[in-house]
């Protein structure tokens, strides 16, 4: 069932993903060959191994009924959809409105539109006033050292006391340094390593960092 299908939708080429997450099947639609943002590095239209593994972690290990959850850099929305399936009140956020439009479309495709879903255009360097959350999600969002300080400040502001952060990424120095900066601020971290094995994707070892606010 898992896989990637390329399809024409009018003049735009789109990629249709069918992904098994836990016991659920999630369908995602994303544009292909779009122009890159001029002022930010972003690959929001791609489906990454990290987002798939984080979505599986959410589906298999998290009970989010009634929890307020923020997804940072939501892209096409897979991990936020997994949180929604587990009962969360989910806020999808991204720097680019087109990403949020795509995530909203994917929520609709899976029949999950509800009052528990909201969308937020969010600039980490100049964050709007946002409520606090019980859980923050992010898949491959810490690849740029330049934004680490802004992102950490945002997380500290947006996370409830005792709240958690779930970050998924490949083993990279930039990730370890980001997590190290959080630990230096009094956060506590546990790691879970797993191997992605999904048809159409290369095998990749992904680490999920569960970071708790003391």
Query: Residues 76-80: what's their mean pLDDT?
Result: 97
Q: In the numeric block, which tokens belong to residue 12?
A: 């735009």
- Cα–Cα separations (whole angstroms), residue 30 to 6, 21, 102, 200: 10, 18, 7, 16
Backbone region of residue 82 per phi and psi (left: phi > 0; alpha: psi in -120 to 50; beta: other values): alpha
The whole-number pLDDT of residue 6 equals 43
The whole-number pLDDT of residue 9 equals 46
**For residue range 6-16, what is the model confidence (pLDDT) as tens digits?**
444 445 688 99
Query: Which of 36, 32, 50, 29 is CA-nearest to residue 202?
Result: 50
Maximum mean pLDDT: which of 3-17, 29-43, 81-95, 187-201: 81-95
Secondary structure, 3-state, 62-95 = CCCCCCEEEECCCCCCHHHHHHHHCCCEEEEEEC
- Mean pLDDT computed over every residue of the chain: 89
pLDDT band per the 50, 70, 90 thresholds, residue 108: very high
- Cα–Cα separations (whole angstroms), residue 106 to 24, 82, 100, 126: 15, 12, 10, 27
Query: Residues 93-112: what's their mean pLDDT?
Result: 96
The whole-number pLDDT of residue 40 equals 52
Residue holding tokens 């992605």?
196
Q: Which residue has the higher pLDDT, 38 or 187?
A: 187
C-alpha triplet 20, 120, 104: angle, nearest 5°: 40
The whole-number pLDDT of residue 199 equals 74
The whole-number pLDDT of residue 54 equals 97
The whole-number pLDDT of residue 12 equals 64
**For residue range 126-150, what is the model confidence (pLDDT) as tens digits?**
888 889 999 999 999 999 999 999 9
Q: Which residue has the higher pLDDT, 5 or 87?
A: 87
C-alpha triplet 155, 194, 78: angle, nearest 5°: 55
Regarding pTM above 0.95, the answer is no
Report the chain's C-alpha Rg in angstroms. Answer: 16
**In the chain, pLDDT over 90 holds for what percent of residues?**
76
pLDDT band per the 50, 70, 90 thresholds, residue 197: confident
Q: Which domains does the chain have, with CATH numbers?
A: 41-213 (3.40.50.150)
């Amino acid at each position: 069932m898992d896989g990637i299908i390329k399809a024409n939708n009018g003049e735009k080429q789109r990629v249709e993903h069918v992904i098994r997450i836990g016991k659920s099947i999630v369908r995602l639609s994303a544009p292909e060959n779009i122009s890159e943002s001029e002022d930010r590095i972003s690959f929001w239209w791609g489906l990454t191994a990290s987002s798939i593994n984080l979505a599986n972690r959410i589906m298999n290990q998290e009970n989010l009924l009634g929890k307020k959850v923020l997804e940072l850099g939501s892209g096409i929305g897979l991990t936020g959809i997994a949180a929604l399936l587990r009962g969360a009140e989910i806020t999808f956020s991204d720097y680019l409105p087109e990403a949020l439009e795509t995530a909203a479309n994917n929520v609709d495709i899976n029949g999950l539109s509800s009052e528990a879903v909201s969308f937020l255009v969010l600039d980490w360097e100049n964050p709007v006033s946002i409520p606090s959350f019980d859980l923050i999600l992010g898949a491959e969002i810490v690849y740029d050292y330049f934004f680490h300080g802004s992102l950490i400040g945002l997380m500290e502001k947006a996370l409830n006391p005792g709240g958690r952060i779930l970050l998924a990424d490949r083993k990279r120095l930039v990730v370890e340094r980001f997590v190290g900066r959080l630990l230096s601020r009094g956060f506590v971290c546990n790691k879970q390593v797993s191997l992605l094995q999904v048809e159409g994707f290369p095998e990749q070892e992904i680490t999920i960092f569960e970071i708790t606010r003391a």
